[in-house]
A and B are shown apart, each in its own frame.
Chain A
Amino acid sequence: MKEPFKIIASGEGGQGVLSIAKIIAYAAWQQGFHTIYVPYFSTEKRGGVSVAFAQIWDKPIPFPKFHKADLWVALSQRAVDRIYDYLHDDTVTIVNSFLVKDVTRIKKWKPYEIDATTIAKEQLGKPRTFNMVIMGAMLKFVPGLSQEGFAKALEKTFKDKYERDASLRELNEQAFNIGHDLVK
């Protein structure tokens, strides 16, 4: 890898975009990569656009922020409108099409439009799993990250939740696989 692989996850505060980036960074670290994650947080805990930066490399990463992402995910319309500046010519873009209705601004990047919200609600019966659908799709594009390794990271991250409710593990797996299979 000549450069770190750079990921941006963006959306509304409280949607869990920070967790998405954090989990992917953690999973990569578990698989032996150097990773850095930093949230680009605003003054309020809630109500602002929320952005997270993650980088994965086989060498130590010099700086937590960057200007252009290789993989870019937007979970809200405001995120598309405000964070599109972080795209380079070949950035892979993914949006949750249930929340992002207008992709004109990023049309030339041919975004993957995934209705993760509807999938989570109707196929899985648990709206919060939409993030897992998105992560499944994202993982297709992160170099060097195996699905098994990712599953292990999830085990550690959700240890407490899985202990309380074991059915959540299966649900997450299902959601992940749906997202993973949606992108070709």
Chain B
Amino acid sequence: MSHVPYPRPCGDFRTTYAEDASLYKTRPAFRAAVAITLLAALMPIISWTMPAVVSTAMISNLIQIGILAIAALGLNVLVGFTGQISLGHAAFFGFGAFSSAYLVNNFSVPVLLAIPAAGIVTALVGFLFGLPAARLKGLYLAIATLAAQFILEDFFARATWFTEGYGVTADRPVLAGLSLADDRWFYYVVLFWVIISFIGVSNLRRSRDGRAFVAVRDHYLSAEIMGINLTKYRVLSFGVSSFFAGLAGALYGHFLGFVSVEAFTILLSIQFLAMIIIGGLGSVTGSLLGAAFIFMLPPTMQSFASSLAEIFPAMQQGVAYVKEMAIGLAIILFLILEPEGLIHLWRRIRASWKLFPFSH
């Protein structure tokens, strides 16, 4: 897929295999990751004690970024690792949301169990769509997944037993009689799954299966000659990707409280793709950065355009459109100027800082 399999700045060398396979290259990198995770875990506590510092709106934003990051991570396994393009990720995301609500509403499964169960159900659907897709690649696959998107969207609108035809309610989870309806409690549910997913995929990346995915991406003919079963790994990566899509969708459904059949359009699929492109294809951390970027872009543009509109009143009616245009523009600009994404930008900054007077 990518012409540079591991984009790494000049001067950033690995000299042993153990070093190359380690999750954190340096001790400070590991400490930083732990510190960021701890800070994330402290957010609701800060919000309870000092609401002025961390508002509830911020908590709600963080929840949504976390959920989108899980879905983007799933898509990154498919697109970034295996090199399979999917334009139907939002449909799987939606399928997860509906499955979880269905399990809770009809079989009274506890919400906390229904969320991973929805991930597994969606993974099965992913296998189903992945089987025919395993024969296709590149553009043909993109078009096939586009068709899957429309067919699943149509299914949501049609399957009244599953979605009521317009949407279903999804309750917040309850743990040991304690309701987790408050965003700050729900935050921990999301954080738990974000951590599990990110650790899981980071380790998947350096396992045999993960390396097989990358081999399929980089040169599938060579991979096949080396004994990698192409069909198996293409289908598997569809399954893994759908699992995370379903998991994130289920979290999203229970976060919103209502799952609408109209929420999972092709536009959301495109946004997921934009997240991994802007964050960095094939990068685990990049998925999180990209999700945060795409989530924050519309509100940022909104306030930017509104303040512009105060100076130029003619801009007033354009504010809503500037927001939409920004997403399209961001995708194009990143592809042209920084095709490896935000994570590469960060790596370059870090390398030039580390190697300071002699950085390239």
Question: A and B from one assembly?
Answer: no
Question: Using a CB–CB distance below 8 Å, which chain B residues touch chain A?
Answer: none
